[in-house]
């Protein structure tokens, strides 16, 4: 990644701004800063939906394909089971795990200074794709103004081997478990916005099979740039630029640097 340092001004975060947290494992800590660059890769349909509605989709955690999503370690499982046996909580481990997965909503970003060929292939899914870029600071400021109903917080994902029983930091609440993913996904360099509904009634889903939340945001505040896929045909690039103008998108629209011809 490129150089990412905060100025004194960048370190000032409003008291009511979303928490920005770094999952930690042992001594390894890689801090995010307000100017850390984030990418969200979209196909054409999702791009034009964003232009039209200015919403971010938060997927309910039990709708992710990764079976380790929200998985606890053996030690944490035993702690929850012991608390249930002592009558300290009114749900057993399996009930607790199911409740967490059905009550936490997640919006995903890729952390990188530059775009990624792997991310284009996995999440762009076609030549007609784009990436929205923002920074941690812009995302935080945007969420501060959005109506999320429950607290939203931003977490850098840590990649672990769940089966080796690593020591996970999930304080001050158990929803921090979603800031950890299995090692197989380490290439994603993911940053997540997490909304925890476990403390209240479940929000209505927006329909099957992609149950989740749609949160309206200020696109002008959120966007750093709109990047067009490196292999996009000229007509698609023209369409994206025209659409950005039509919808009043002020962020620069540019072609991926991967489209540059080598010397």
Please give the structure tokens belonging to residue 89.
Answer: 């909580």
- Buried b / exposed e over 224-263, threshold 16 CB at 10 Å, is bbbbbbbebeeebbebbeebbeeeebebebeebeeeeeee
CB-based contacts of 28, cutoff 8 Å, min separation 6: none
The pTM assigned to this predicted structure is: 0.84
How far apart CA 152 and CA 140 sit, in angstroms, is 9
- pLDDT over 70 for what percent of the chain? 85
256 pLDDT more than 50: yes
- The residue count for the chain: 263
pLDDT in tens, 199-234: 755 444 443 434 889 999 999 999 999 999 999 999
> What count of other Cβ atoms lies within 10 Å of the Cβ of residue 145?
12
Average pLDDT over residues 160-185: 87
How far apart CA 71 and CA 177 sit, in angstroms, is 7
How far apart CA 69 and CA 61 sit, in angstroms, is 7
Residue 57 DSSP SS3: strand
Residue 1, pLDDT score:
38
Residue 252, pLDDT score:
97
- Burial of 182 per CB tally in 10 Å (0-12, 13-18, 19+): middle
Who has greater pLDDT, 168 or 131? 131
- Angle at which helix 74-85 crosses helix 93-103, to 10 degrees, equals 110
Residue 115, pLDDT score:
93
pLDDT in tens, 52-72: 999 999 999 999 888 888 888
Q: What share of the chain is helix, strand, coil (3-state, %, to 5)?
A: 35, 25, 40
Residue 238, pLDDT score:
97
pLDDT in tens, 9-28: 344 445 456 677 765 544 44
Average pLDDT over residues 125-152: 92
Residue 14, pLDDT score:
52
């Amino acid at each position: 990644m490129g150089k990412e340092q905060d100025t004194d001004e960048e370190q000032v975060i409003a008291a009511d701004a979303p928490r920005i947290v770094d999952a930690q494992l042992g001594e390894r800590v890689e801090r995010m800063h307000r100017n850390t660059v984030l990418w969200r890769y979209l196909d054409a349909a999702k791009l034009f939906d964003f232009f039209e509605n200015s919403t971010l989709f938060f997927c309910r955690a039990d709708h992710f394909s990764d079976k380790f999503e929200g998985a606890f370690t053996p030690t944490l499982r035993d702690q929850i089971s012991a608390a249930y046996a002592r009558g300290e909580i009114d749900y057993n481990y399996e009930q607790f795990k199911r409740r967490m997965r059905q009550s936490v909503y997640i919006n995903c970003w890729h952390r990188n200074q530059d775009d990624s060929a792997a991310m284009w292939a996995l999440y762009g899914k076609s030549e007609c794709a784009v990436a929205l870029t923002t920074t941690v600071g812009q995302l935080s400021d945007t969420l501060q103004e959005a109506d999320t109903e429950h607290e939203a917080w931003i977490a850098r994902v840590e990649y672990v081997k769940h089966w080796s029983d690593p020591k996970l930091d999930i304080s001050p609440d158990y929803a921090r478990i979603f800031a950890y993913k299995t090692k197989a996904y380490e290439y994603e360099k993911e940053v997540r916005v997490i909304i925890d509904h476990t403390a209240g009634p479940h929000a209505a889903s927006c329909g099957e099979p992609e149950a989740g939340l749609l949160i309206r945001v200020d696109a002008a505040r959120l966007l750093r740039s709109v990047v067009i896929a490196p292999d996009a045909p000229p007509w698609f690039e023209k369409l994206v630029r025209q659409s950005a103008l039509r919808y009043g998108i002020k962020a620069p629209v540019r072609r991926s640097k991967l489209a540059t011809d080598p010397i």
